[in-house]
Structure 1
Amino acid sequence: MPMRWWPLLNEIWVLFRKDLLQELRSKAALNAIFLFALVTLTAVSYSIGSFNVAPDMLAALLWIVIVFSGLSAFAHIFLKEEEAQTADTLKLIARPTTIFLAKWAFNVLLLTLMLLFTVPLFIGAFNFTVYHPGLLILTLLLGDIGLATAGTIIAVLIARAARRGALFSVLSFPVLLPVMIIAISATKIAFRADPTDLFISEITAMLSFDIVLLTASLLLFEFIWND
């Protein structure tokens, strides 16, 4: 790796570590995301009861739990900088690209931890077989990246808004909808016993969307952050 990349990576690591240490002390986002996931999963499981649920419905329910749980934590990533009045300091000491990537990496970590907690509980609660676990893991990974990217860029948009909660949900929905639709489609295949030769288009679409969304977010972030 060229030496010119090391300062950038080091700056990202320093900012990421700052957020991680703050979270380990306060546990605000972790508590929010895990509690919301547990409550949502319990409500869904109780509503379904003993009914046999088709794989297509299970895939949709899983991503509803994932998306709404993730949204409960994403909005705070820049809000805490505004509340602590450290946003202006960040602008002085770090480049916009490194700030975004550090916040994005932190959101990816949060969502990954939530997935490790939620998905096994979901499978156990509904007692079904995942016929293609490799496809499910790949779908969750790409969905994780897409959700974290959307959550990060929208969080900076609403950080200074008066009604942040409602605005975050309204702005998130149209951005997250394509990720949800493709992820649900790929997850359906993972839950079925059929051959998996049809999953390539879904995975390709998710990967393409993640790349486009991350690239666009990096380009837009500097203008939003410095406004």
Structure 2
Amino acid sequence: MNDFFQNTVEIFKKELKSEFRTKYVLNSLLMFVLICVSVIRFAAGDEKIDNEILTGLFWVTIFFASVSSLARTFIKEQDKETSIALKLTSVVDSVYSGKLIFNLILSYVTGLISLILFVLIMNYEIKNFSGFMLFFFLGNTGLVIILTSIASIVSKANNKGTLYPVLAFPVLIPLLVSIIHATKLTAEGAETFSLYEEVIIILCYIIVVLTASLMLFKFIWED
């Protein structure tokens, strides 16, 4: 257990140092978000976009930003020929956990910046902010778990670029539907307690996909 936590921290530090050195993922995420918000604002002109539509656009922006940047989570290890070293020196689960934690932090930061831009530029109104943030973090957590797992699968395939979104979208449909519905209601002012069913559904989804991801990753990584 100590080896697992120690290896997880080391993998996270490695990802952090690599990102500080190249700034590839963060720059890709922020640039994508900025372009999306700018295009939506210019397309809308002076017209006010309905809050319900803005909720959908917000999650579409986060989804495609994450897909475009997290796809290389494991591919870069093969490109740099560091995957063999990781297999020899790290506990299998810690490789997934370390990369997952790093991706989660990136996703939270990007999502918060996206939210700020939507509020300031798109005049996105959120009446139940605490409830909205609850579903914001739940949604991002589920999204990153799935995308990190799919990235490990795609790293073994030939058509890496096209296969990633094709595999990710069908698995994420239940989560995206629930999250968009819940955040739409909280933005309109619905009480968080009244959405307890959505909270339970999303938590169950996260637990199931995380458990399945950890089980499958051992076979994928050691292949």
* 2:103 is the alignment partner of 1:107: yes
- 1:58 corresponds in structure 2 to 54
Aligned mates of 1:77, 1:140 — CA distance in 2:
22
Listed as ranges, the matches of 1:127-142 within 5 Å are 127-142=123-138
- 1:156 corresponds in structure 2 to 152
Q: Name the CA shift for 1:126/1:6 in 2 (closer, same or farther; >3 Å).
A: same
* 2:165 is the alignment partner of 1:169: yes
- 1:184 corresponds in structure 2 to 180
Once the two structures are superposed, what CA deviation does each residue of 1:10-31 show, in whole Å capped at 9, x if it has no partner? 1100111001101100001111
* 2:92 is the alignment partner of 1:96: yes
Listed as ranges, the matches of 1:18-29 within 5 Å are 18-29=14-25
Q: CA RMSD in A?
A: 1.3
Q: Which runs of 4+ in 1 moved over 6 A?
A: none
- 2:35 corresponds in structure 1 to 39
- 1:205 corresponds in structure 2 to 201
Shift of 1:177: 1.3
Aligned mates of 1:64, 1:181 — CA distance in 2:
11
Shift of 1:44: 1.8
- Contact 1:150 1:172 (8 Å CA) reproduced: yes
Aligned mates of 1:27, 1:75 — CA distance in 2:
15
Structure 1 letter corresponding to 2:148: T
- 1:125 corresponds in structure 2 to 121
Is the partner of 1:106 in helix, strand or coil?
A: helix
Percent of residue pairs identical: 32
Once the two structures are superposed, what CA deviation does each residue of 1:110-148 show, in whole Å capped at 9, x if it has no partner? 101101211110111221321011111111111111111
Structure 2 letter corresponding to 1:18: K
Q: Name the CA shift for 1:128/1:86 in 2 (closer, same or farther; >3 Å).
A: closer
Structure 2 letter corresponding to 1:172: A
Deviates further, 67-76 or 54-63: 54-63
5+ residue gaps in structure 1?
Answer: none
Aligned mates of 2:64, 2:158 — CA distance in 1:
21
- Contact 1:78 1:156 (8 Å CA) reproduced: yes
5+ residue gaps in structure 2?
Answer: none
Once the two structures are superposed, what CA deviation does each residue of 1:148-195 show, in whole Å capped at 9, x if it has no partner? 101111001111323211110101111111111111011111111344
Is the partner of 1:52 in helix, strand or coil?
A: coil
Is the partner of 1:77 in helix, strand or coil?
A: coil
Structure 2 letter corresponding to 1:106: F
Aligned mates of 2:120, 2:199 — CA distance in 1:
25
- 2:220 corresponds in structure 1 to 224
Count of residues in correspondence between the two structures: 223
Q: Name the CA shift for 1:188/1:6 in 2 (closer, same or farther; >3 Å).
A: same
